[in-house]
Amino acid sequence: MQTIDFELDREYVELKQLLKLTDLVTSGGEAKVIIADGQVSVDGVVELRKACKIRGGQQVTLGDVRINVLADPDPDGDYEDDEDEDE
């Protein structure tokens, strides 16, 4: 099984967008058809909602491809290096 690690840069991504962002589909229309056909599962359960919110820690499977959704390491967007500002 092929595994893709997808790092979120926000709180969540919609399922159909995730499939496009990982290049598993070429269009939103294709994503909608694949999801509606029951070919996609989230955390081992078939997911039929196209706009289902996928968050860090979840796994999405399409065929023999598993997407590990990694949480945004800095959800507030205020990450700074460990460098001292006083130097």
Q: What is the mean pLDDT of the chain?
A: 89
Residue 30 lies in a domain: yes
Mean pLDDT to the nearest integer, 53-65: 97
What residues have CB less than 8 Å from 79, skipping those under 6 apart?
73
Give the number of domains in the chain: 1
Residue 86 lies in a domain: no
Domain containing 21: what range? 2-70
Q: What is the CATH number of the domain that holds 27?
A: 3.10.290.10
Residue 81 lies in a domain: no
Strands (E), 1-87: 2-7, 12-14, 40-42, 45-46, 53-55, 59-62, 65-70
Residue 1: the pLDDT is: 87
- What is the per-residue pLDDT across 6-47, written as a single tens digit (0 to 9) for each? 999 999 999 999 999 999 999 999 999 999 999 999 999 999
